[in-house]
């Protein structure tokens, strides 16, 4: 196989087990337009969008666990 035509292996999103999108959007870790997926696959993503997504992820996870206590 020619190295120039080799395709990059796509990995499942590293955040899928804790992500707020998993249930809401029925994401199984391969939502390619998600900045969390892009970041976990080493692709370019907008830094502001990534930080916003991470803030949402953190806040929703925090709220979920606060309700369990």
Work out the number of other CB atoms within 10 angstroms of the CB of residue 32. Answer: 10
CA distance 20 to 18: 7
Confidence of residue 61 (pLDDT cuts 50, 70, 90): confident
pTM as predicted:
0.70
Task: Please give the pLDDT value at position 27.
Answer: 85
Q: Give the pLDDT confidence of 20-60 residue by residue, as tens digits.
A: 778 777 888 999 889 999 999 999 988 999 999 899 888 98
pLDDT mean over 5-30: 83
Task: Please give the pLDDT value at position 41.
Answer: 92
């Amino acid at each position: 196989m020619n190295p120039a035509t080799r395709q990059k292996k796509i990995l499942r999103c590293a955040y899928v087990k804790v992500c707020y999108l998993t249930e809401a959007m029925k994401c199984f870790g391969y939502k390619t337009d998600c900045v969390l997926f892009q970041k976990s696959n080493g692709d370019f993503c907008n830094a502001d969008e990534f930080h916003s997504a991470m803030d949402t992820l953190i806040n929703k996870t925090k709220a979920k666990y606060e309700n369990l206590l």
